[in-house]
Structure 1
Amino acid sequence: MRITVISGGPAGAPFVRGLADHLAASPGADEVTVVANTGDDISLGGLRLSPDVDGLLAALSDAPVAAPDTSVVTDELGALGVLPAWFPVADREIATHLARTAWLGRGATPSEVTARLAERNGLPAKGVRLLPMSDVPVETHVVLDDEEGQSAVHVQQWRHELGRPAATRFVVAGMDRAAAAPGVLDAVREADLVVLAPGDPVLSIGIVLGVPGVRDALRGTSAKIVGVTPDLTDLGPSLAAVGLDPTPAAVSGLYRDLRATWLPADASPADVLTHA
C-alpha cells in the first residue's frame, strides 16, 4: 500500500513513528511518504532550522543518543547574543543545523538536504521517504495588535517567547512564490491512503495545504483520506485567530472539501489503517 502522510507540529512525528513501526511489524512492502510542514522554518544565529522536518528525522531514527541532552554550546551562543534564549536548541541538534546551512549555502535544495539527512538517519531502510512541502523558503508570521498599531513576529517567537497571545491574523511569507517540492503532488495523487496526521489545522497541516497544488491534489486523488483530530488543548489561540472554537467539528470543518474520514485524537495508526 502506498501511504502519504501530511505532517506538521510536534504531534506529527510520534504519530508517523508509530505508523512506521506498525507497518514494519506486519507483512507487506508498504511505501510511506511523509510531507512535512516547513512554514515553521527559521534562521537563527546563522543557522537554518527546520523544526518539523527535524522532529520527524529524530522520531524515525534508531540512532542512539550518545550523551544526555546538553546545552553547553547553545548556552554559550546565547550568552554571546547569537541565539535567542526563547528558542530551544539542544547541542545534539547543532550538527544537523550546521549541515543543512552548509548544504543550502552550496546550492542544494531543501529536498536534497532532507534526503541526505533522511539517509543518515536510516529512513529509506524503513520504507519511509521524507519530503519538505516546498523548496521555496516559507515562513509563518503572526500579526499582533500593540500600542503602536500592529506588528508581526515569527510563529516560533509567538509560541516560545510570547506564549501565544491573541493574534489578529497569520501571514505566510513566501507562499505566493511557493510550489510543491518534487514528488509531493505525485505522492498525493498516486497514494492508496492519505493521512492527515494530528497537527494544528491552521499553523501546521493548514500551511502544507496552502502550498499551491496540494489541496487540489487532495481533492482529485482517488485515495482514501483519513484525518486524525489533534489534541485541542493548545490550539485555542490559532483557531481563535480564524474565528473558530477549539472543537473537533471546527477542525474537521476546515477540511470539508476533502471528503476525509475523521478519527478521534486517541486513534492509533492501526485504527487509521482499518479505514484505508
Structure 2
Amino acid sequence: MRVACLSGGVGGAKLACGLQDVLAPGELTVIGNVGDDVEVLGLHVAPDLDSVLYALAGLNDEERGWGRAGETWRALEAARHWGGEGWFMLGDLDLGLHLVRTQALRTGDPLSAVTARLAEAAGLATLVLPATDDPLRTSVVTPGGTFPFQEWFVARRHEDEVDAMVFAGADAARPAPGVLEAIRDADALVVAPSNPYTSIHPILAVDGLRETVVARRERTVAVSPLVGGRAVKGPLDRMLMRMSGGTSPAHVARCYEGLIGALVIDRADAPAESDVPLVVTDTLMTDRDAGRRLAEVVLEAVA
C-alpha cells in the first residue's frame, strides 16, 4: 500500500513513525513543510524536515519532544560567549546535520537531493521530500506586527495572537521532484496531526499541490491535532478560536475544506458533527505503539 503523508513537525513526525512501522519498507513518502526553515548563524535549518528525519531514524529526543536524543549545547554556548545569536536552540549533534546541508546547498544541490542523502545516511527506506526546493517562508500576522515564523514561535514564544498567515515565495514555488507523483500514485493520502495554519497550509500553498490533493479527496484522511478541543502542544487551539471561531472537529475540518474525505478525531472530542465523516479513536501518541495503533486506524479509514 503506497501512502503519502503531509507533515509538519513533532505531531506529524510521530504519525509518520507509526505509518512507517505498519507499512512495508519503501511504501511511505513523507512530504514536509519548509515554511519554517530559517538561517541561524549562517546555517540552513529545516526544523520540520529534521523532526521527521530524526523520528523515523529513532534519533529524536522523545522526552523533550524535539531535537536529537543525548544532545549537548556547548557550541551554542560558545557562540553566545562570542556575541553570536543564541535564541534558536542548535544542539551539537544537530549542528552536524545543518553543516552538511548548508554546504551542499551552497554548492548548488537542491534541498530535495540533500534531504534524500540525509535519509539514506540515516538508513531509511521511507522517502522524505520537502514540499518545494524553492524559497518559501512563513510569516505570522499579529496585532503587534508581522514576524517571521521562527521569531514568533521561538523568540516570542508564540504569545502574540494570530490574525493571518503569509507564505512568502509561494507564488513562485514549484513542487519538489516526486511530490506530485507521490500524491497522485498514493493509495492513501494522510494529513498528519500538525498545525493546519503553520505546517500544512504552507505545503498546500506550493503551486499545483492543493489541486493535486483535491483530486485525491476521497482517498485523503486528516488526523485532528486537538484532544478535547485543546492543542497537545503549541498554540493551535488559540489560533483556531481566533481565526475560525472554535475548536470543535468541525472547525478543524474547515481548515481542510474540499481537501479531505474523512477526519480522525480523539474520543475526547466525540460526539461531534462535521461536514466530513468522522472516525473516533485514541489520537494521543504517548509512545511508538500508540502511533502504530493510530496509523492502523487512519489507513483503515481509506481502505
Q: Could you say whether these structures have the same fold, taking a TM-score greater than 0.5 normalized by the shorter chain as the test?
A: yes
Could you give the per-residue CA deviations for residues 213-268 of structure 1, whole angstroms, max 9, x where no partner exists? 11100111376111111134231343355344232211111212124211114340
Match of 2:269 in 1: none
- Asked if the contact 1:114/1:130 (under 8 Å) is kept, the reply is yes
Unaligned runs of 5+ in 1: none
User: Structure 2-normalised TM-score?
Assistant: 0.81
Paired letter, 2:91: A
1:194 aligns with 2:194: no
Unaligned runs of 5+ in 2: 62-67, 267-281, 284-293
- What pairs up with 1:122-201 in 2 under 5 angstroms? 122-124=123-125, 128-146=126-144, 151-164=145-158, 165-201=160-196
- Asked if the contact 2:9/2:49 (under 8 Å) is kept, the reply is no
Q: How many Å apart are 1:100 and its aligned residue?
A: 0.7
Match of 1:11 in 2: 11
- Asked if the contact 1:189/1:223 (under 8 Å) is kept, the reply is no
Q: How many Å apart are 1:173 and its aligned residue?
A: 1.3
Could you give the per-residue CA deviations for residues 8-34 of structure 1, whole angstroms, max 9, x where no partner exists? 12211111111111225xxxx661111
User: Structure 1-normalised TM-score?
Assistant: 0.89
Q: How many residues align?
A: 264
Q: 1:244 to 1:62 in 2, by over 3 A?
A: same
- Asked if the contact 1:9/1:204 (under 8 Å) is kept, the reply is yes
Separation (CA, whole Å) in 2 of partners of 1:215 and 1:71: 39
Separation (CA, whole Å) in 2 of partners of 1:155 and 1:131: 21
- What pairs up with 1:1-276 in 2 under 5 angstroms? 1-24=1-24, 31-62=27-58, 68-85=70-87, 87-124=88-125, 128-146=126-144, 151-164=145-158, 165-221=160-216, 224-231=219-226, 232-233=230-231, 234-240=235-241, 242-265=243-266, 266-267=282-283, 268-275=294-301, 276=303
Root-mean-square deviation (CA, aligned residues, Å) is 2.1
- Asked if the contact 2:167/2:205 (under 8 Å) is kept, the reply is no
Q: 1:67 to 1:200 in 2, by over 3 A?
A: closer
- Asked if the contact 2:184/2:212 (under 8 Å) is kept, the reply is yes
